Amino acid sequence: MADFDTSHVKNIVLLGHAGCGKTTLAECMLFEAGLINRRGTVAENSTVSDYHDLEKERGNSVFATLLHTRWRGYKINIIDTPGYDDFVGEVLASLRVADTGVMLLNAVMGVEVGTDIIWEYTEAFKTPMIFAINKLDHDNADYDKTLLTAKAHFGNNVIAVQYPRQTGAGFHEIIDVLRMVMYQFKDTGGKPNKLPIPDAEKEKAEKLHKELIEAVASNDETLMEKYFNKGELDEDELKEGLKKAMIGHDLFPLFCLSAARNMGSGRLMGFIDNVCPSANEMPAQPTKEGKLLKCDANGPAAIFVYKTIVESHVGEMSLFKVYSGTVKSGIELVNESTGSAEKLNQLFVVEGHSRTATNELVAGDIGATIKLRNTHVNNTLHEKNKSIELLPINFPSPNMTMAIESTRKGEEEKLSQALHTLQEEDPTIIIEVSPELKQTLIHCQGELHLQIIKWKLEHLHHVAVKFTKPRIPYRETIRKMAEANYRHKKQSGGAGQFGEVYLRIEPWYDGMADPKGLNVRNRDEYPLEWGGKLVFYNCIVGGAIDTRFLPAILKGVMEKMQEGPLTGSYVRDVRVCVYDGKMHPVDSNDISFKIAGLQAFRHAFQQADPQLLEPIYHVAILCPDDLTGAVIGDLQTRRAIVEGIDASGHFLHHTGPCTFQHAIF
């Protein structure tokens, strides 16, 4: 049997802007639960969470790391996430499987831009949230300002459960208005003493306690009635009300911390196991078929793969959440996406870089397995003879595109395999081999994301690469009519090659009348993959060219349109009229007329006032309102046209077409 049943498994994700102390808090949690004997630090590269060489080198989280701890009869799975938006894929995957989010706020910096961005994702998932103001021991810490800013950004549903008696170097007392006690810590942190609230703080504590009760009662009619009758709610009633409000995404309790000095983490963990919902208390998961899947250990086995890690000595390791049933080592499940069977030979409980084998995982728990052959992120695996497919994680579109190539010849295939591995680990990376630009393009989230990709390619896959700007996807067209002819003649013994083509080309537009002065026999319209159209007319009279050779002429024209005469870019919006030519009864064939058509089109194009068209990007930009002027000014230097500005929370949303190059926002 599993060590914990579904109701005693809690899944939390640590969120917040980079540098707010998520990894340090995770270390405190493990230490408080007795899983580690000494708290590591980010500065010493000794934390359980940031174990990767890249994270140690950079001094911050790059990957979402799964940890777990045991606390007072509960198993708490902890996912420590990176704070930079370049690693949004790690955050979204973690939010998908978490049942509660802990959003850390820096008491010195307040609500930072990364916090605002992450909040938008939590709103989409409707994840129950806890706020925690960290670094209250810093000399410049400002609890009141941070709380007011949080309420301004996230609404008055942010409700204080704790406040510090003092901040700065002397921070060591936290007043809890839920339990109405004061926690007093030693300088070294750890387990606090529980003391009565001092007389000087009683009025403030009573006021906040009343605000907490009213906020909880206002979200539950039963509690509201009890509050009116008694004028008070006891601690158990408050906890139950808080849980319901958190599940409904209606209240966000706020706590106080100094993770660096291990003050307040134990109380936070106690709140997680006492109040925060387990997976079976959360709403049932919707499936693609429109059904609901309840988190029930007795239901059909179903797991969702949310992350893949590729390690040289292990291969692919799939991290998953059990959404239904009980999964045992050796179980065989079916991948709903591919229909293939996958055997989970080994199950693991993950603790950073350490994995502990386990025989069983119940619904609601998070674990890992290795060597799944045809399973990837977003796949649902389930019992045979069932049809269950959970909704996938919707990863955001890339923000930046660069061309990538190997600096050493002969390593193209090795680079291709390495890029495939990176894309398997991080679905926000998109690899494109562009036949138009003749480049391999890598689409990612930003410059920092690109630096991480380069580091992994060079240090893990041992491929030296360089990034260059992508070539500009110009288009070519014409502005006036032109005529040209070309005779292709080749004799080398035996049957030769002969074909002569006369054609006229004109700029094409919708509603254009048929060509004047030509005998139109047939008209074909071809929408082009790259935009625009080719309109092809057969205007041959007197059988100068046999009808069977016209497809070859068209093929030659299309071939040249795929590699335009000016820059080799695609040609669009051209009308071609073939009106005369010559053929030979023996030497004429398809290849002859293909070449003749291609060359005649090339000569005519160069005489038809050719024009190079720049790409236009439709861009949406999200920025704080105080930066609006600077953003608009920068856009105008790139010939952008701002179509409109809309408010989106605390951001302004700018949209409009832009002809700037090499800048994708």
pLDDT of residue 654: 58
Q: How far apart are CA 240 and CA 257, in angstroms?
A: 24
Altogether, the residues listed in the chain come to a count of 665
Query: What are the structure tokens assigned to 508, written together?
Result: 């094409």
Q: Give strand pairing partners of 468.
A: 403
CA atoms lying within 13 Å on the CB side of residue 646: 7
Alpha helices (runs of H) in 173-329, residue ranges in sequence order:
199-217, 221-230, 235-247, 265-274
CA dihedral 90, 396, 424, 361 (to 10 degrees): 50
Q: Report the Cα 492 to chain-centroid distance in Å.
A: 60
- DSSP structure class, residue 653: E
Q: Which two tokens stand for residue 613?
A: 């068209």
Question: How many angstroms separate the CA atoms of 317 and 348, rounded?
Answer: 10
Question: Residue 497's CB: how many other CB atoms inside 10 A?
Answer: 18
Parallel, antiparallel, or unpaired for β 100-106 and 9-15?
A: parallel
What is d(CA 84, CA 114) in angstroms, rounded to the nearest whole number? Answer: 6
pLDDT of residue 493: 67
Structure tokens at 516: 């004047």
Q: Which residues of 629-654 are buried (b: 16+ CB within 10 A; e: fewer)?
A: eebbeebeeeebebeebeeeeebbeb
- CA atoms of 44 and 67, how far apart (whole Å): 19
**C-alpha to C-alpha distances, 119 to 88, 104, 254, nearest whole angstrom:** 12, 11, 15
CA angle at residue 363 from 361 to 368, to 5 degrees?
45
Exposure letters 355-393 (e unless 16+ CB within 10 A, then b): beebebbbbbbbbbbbebeebbbbbbbbbeeeebbbebb
pLDDT at 216: 93
Distance CA 368, CA 321 (A): 8
Q: How far is CA 448 from CA 52, 268, 399, 455, in A?
A: 17, 32, 12, 11
User: What count of other Cβ atoms lies within 10 Å of the Cβ of residue 340?
Assistant: 12
| Cα–Cα distance for residue pair 40/235, rounded to 1 Å | 35
What is the predicted pLDDT for the residue at 226? 87
Contact 422, 429 (CB under 8 A): yes
- pLDDT at position 558 is 97
Q: Report the pLDDT value the prediction gives residue 626, as an integer from 0 to 100.
A: 80
* CB contact at 8 A, 99 and 125: no
Crossing angle between the packed helical segments 235-247 and 221-230, to the nearest 10 degrees: 150
Dump the DSSP string for 114-159: HHHHHHHHHHHHT--EEEEEE-TTSTT--HHHHHHHHHHHH-TTEE
Name the strand (E) or helix (H) holding 467: strand 465-468
Task: Please tell me the predicted confidence (pLDDT) of residue 665.
Answer: 30
Spell out, as residue ranges, where the chain has pLDDT lower than 70: 1-2, 493-494, 648-665
Give the DSSP H/E element, type plus range, for residue 556: helix 550-561
Question: Between 88-97 and 113-125, two packed helices, what is the crossing angle to 10 degrees?
Answer: 40
- d(CA 24, CA 215) in angstroms, rounded, equals 31
Q: What is residue 662's predicted lDDT score, i.e. its pLDDT?
A: 38
Closest CA to 579 of 500, 512, 480: 500
Q: Which two tokens stand for residue 78?
A: 């902890």
The C-alpha atoms of residue 48 and residue 46 are separated, in whole angstroms, by: 7
> CA 453 to CA 309: how far, in whole Å?
14
Alpha helices in 387-476 (DSSP H): 412-425, 447-459
SS3 call for 532: coil
